Amino acid sequence: MSKKNKKPKKVSAKKEKYAKFHKEKPSSIDLTMPDLSPEQTKQKQEDELKISRFLRFNKNPPSKPIRERNTRGK
């Protein structure tokens, strides 16, 4: 089993023509957050506290039909 001589692949004319339009894209994206002023950081902390309090203490009460069914069942 000897290796066969491989012929170079033909590049289509269309690919050659439009190759200049394909840009190389970086494999990883580097996201950096902008520096916030002290005022903005304070506002951000306050907002996060409000959201965490809301999520912690806001328990949705059961809807009215469910409450009525439960009281009838007792």
* Higher pLDDT, residue 13 or 7: 13
Its pTM stands at 0.39
* Higher pLDDT, residue 27 or 74: 27
| Burial class for 69, CB neighbours closer than 10 Å (0-12, 13-18, 19+) | exposed
Alpha helices in 10-73 (DSSP H): 13-18, 38-57, 64-73
What confidence tens digit (pLDDT) does each residue in 9-66 have?
887 888 888 888 877 777 777 778 888 899 999 999 999 999 999 888 887 766 777 7
